[in-house]
Chains A and B, each alone.
Chain A
Amino acid sequence: MGVFRRVNGLGLLTMIVLLGLWEVLVRSGALDFQNLPAPSAVAARAQDLVASGELLVNLLHTVRVTLLGWLIASVVGVGLGLVLGLWRPAWRWSMASLEMLRAVPPISLVPLALFVFGFSVRTELTLIIYASSWPVLINTIEGVRTVEQELHDVARMLRLSQVKTLRKIVLPAALPSVVVGLQLSLSLALVLAVVAELVGNPSGLGNGLILAQLALRPEQVFVYVFTIGLLGIVLNAAFRQVAARAFGPAIRGQGGAP
């Protein structure tokens, strides 16, 4: 129930006041931008979109693709990260290529993905997996490579085998870093899902957003923007809950994330 306990009353009040101010400014004509709707208009539009089911369909698509892409990226990132972090030759051979690839902003690969996969969910998944593999990968490598020398000495003097050292010392010591990577990746997965839907795959919240803009419906644009923002918050909070439950005792005391 940590999510609800963390709701802060004063912060909520600030938000309500700001929304009220926005409403008043738009209605009084003090703010006179073209196409800037009042919050009440946005809320009304949101009700319509919920009632028609359009918002839910788009939301579900984005959630599903984000989570699927993130899960695959997590497996790839952790697996590859362990190999690169633990096996020096692999690291030496591939680090230059990885640094090179990492320097390319994933968004610049959108046209390439479109060439290969067309306007499809495959384009979207590819972009999500590619982009969100990086934080897990880098954090896993960091995690296993920066295990304290003392812990390696402890393993040696207790004469632990290599497998036992990995299982009982290196992996648990790397866990906090890996979890931070997973969390960063999840945020990135949502960003890439929306980008891919804006320009590539014609479904999901991003697509809803771009269609609303093309249809000149600013209230609808705002509904999608808010939905995407809320989704980001919910995904992050859910991750923290799950991670704290799954890894809590394993991470506390290591200065780790959640």
Chain B
Amino acid sequence: MTVEETTPPGPAIDGAPRAVACRCRDTSVDLSFRGGSRRILDDVNLELLDGEFVSILGRSGSGKTTLLRVLGGLLEPGPGSLVQFHGESVVGPPEGVVFVFQNYAASLLPWRTISKNVALGLEGRVPRREMPSRIQEALGMVGLQDRAQDYPWQMSGGMQQRVQLARSLAMRPRGLLMDEPFGSLDAMTKASLQDQLQQVHQRTGTTIAFVTHDIDEAVFLSDRILILGGSPATVEHDIRVDLPRPRDQLATKELPEFLRLRRCVYNAIAAPGG
């Protein structure tokens, strides 16, 4: 796959601050359970810059997915919360934001071929004659252009997740919200998908919010790592990752800076309220 050279969307170049893509102010979420409601997120404040890759980390049950669903407009935050995408209040899924779900098998339509799955969001929005090229482009970005006529259930888990990613990319999103997308994949598949995601990010400059519980993965991919903690959860740490790009599975992970960040993130998660 050829990667077009674009300016790498790393940390903002000094003196040229980038626009804010995603903003949360005083955001709280209460979820109702049998026998009452419980506050999951409290007073969350965060900003994602345009083109930034931000990972959201935290222990399991810390509200990472809840936060992501709020950003994606799939979950309504509590009163007094402000959630914006490119300056517009988020009421329902905003235009230009696409969600990649953890459970890829349940998120693809088993009765549609791969190319029809990728077409799902385009149908009725993109002129019919443009469809094939949009689909091919998206499948090309995840290296699945040869599997267009197969069905999802004929593919491995890693491939299915790539199909879901392609379906999102076909929408040419400005924001990509990914909920532990590689959580249930084996280590090799995970590494190759991380590389692919990195390339997609370089090429498209999409803002990405990436929920994960894998520290190495977060450090490897991100420009910034937000750590949720507490109950109800809030953003406890905001860690900048200044590793050079493009990043390499071996070389990057051997850098002293990588190891330092890894330790730093680990300690931040391990020490509650730290």
Does A pair with B? yes
Q: Is the CB–CB distance between B111 and A249 below 8 Å?
A: yes
Partner of A253, one of B72, B74, B92, B152: B152
Interface size band for A: 20 to 34
> Smallest Cβ distance from A40 to chain B, in angstroms?
51
Question: Which residues from A are CB-within-8-Å of B123?
Answer: 164, 168
Q: How far is the CB of B64 from chain A (nearest CB, A)?
A: 16
Contact between A253 and B151 (Cβ–Cβ < 8 Å)? Answer: yes
- Chain A, 231-258, CB within 8 A of any chain B CB: 249-254
CB-contacts of A123-176 with B (<8 A)? 148, 150-151, 153-154, 156-160, 164, 168-169, 172-173, 175
The minimal Cβ–Cβ distance linking A117 to chain B, given in whole angstroms, is: 42
Interface size class of B (residues with CB under 8 A): 20 to 34
Contacts A157-B93, A250-B111: A151 and B106 contacting too (C-beta < 8 A)?
yes
Using Cβ atoms and an 8 Å threshold, which residues of chain A touch B98?
157-158
Name the one of A164, A172, A250 contacting B124, with C-beta atoms under 8 angstroms.
Answer: A164
**What residues on B are CB-neighbors of A156 within 8 Å?**
74, 92-93
Find chain B residues with CB under 8 A from A252 CB. 110-111, 151, 153
| Residue of B92, B107, B111 touching A172 (CB-CB under 8 A) | B111
Chain A residue at minimal CB-CB distance from B104: A150
Minimal Cβ-Cβ distance residue in B for A251: B111
A157 touches B99 (CB 8 A): yes
Q: Which residues of chain A are within 8 angstroms of B120 by Cβ–Cβ distance? A: 154, 158, 160, 168
| B121 contacts chain A at the CB level, 8 A cutoff | yes
Closest to A149 in B: B106
A153 to B124 alpha-carbon distance, docked (Å): 19
B109 on the A face (CB < 8 A):
yes
User: Which chain A residue lies CB-closest to B120?
Assistant: A158
- Contact across chains for A159 and B109 when beta carbons are under 8 A apart: no
Q: Is the CB of A169 within 8 A of B99?
A: no
List A contacts of B252 (CB < 8 A).
none
How near does chain A come to B166, taking the closest CB pair, in angstroms? 13
User: Nearest chain A CB to B119's CB is how many angstroms away?
Assistant: 10
In the complex, the chain B residue whose C-beta lies closest to that of A250 is B111
Q: Is the CB of B153 within 8 A of A253?
A: yes
The reply to whether B121 and A158 contact each other, CB–CB distance below 8 Å, is yes
The chain A residue sitting closest to B177, CB to CB, is A157
Q: Can you list 27 pairs linking A and B with CB atoms under 8 Å apart?
A: A148-B106, A150-B103, A153-B74, A153-B99, A153-B107, A156-B93, A157-B73, A157-B98, A158-B93, A158-B98, A158-B121, A158-B171, A159-B92, A159-B95, A160-B121, A168-B109, A168-B120, A168-B123, A169-B109, A172-B109, A173-B109, A173-B111, A249-B111, A252-B110, A253-B111, A253-B152, A254-B110
**A interface residues (Cβ-Cβ under 8 A, vs B):** 148, 150-151, 153-154, 156-160, 164, 168-169, 172-173, 175, 249-254
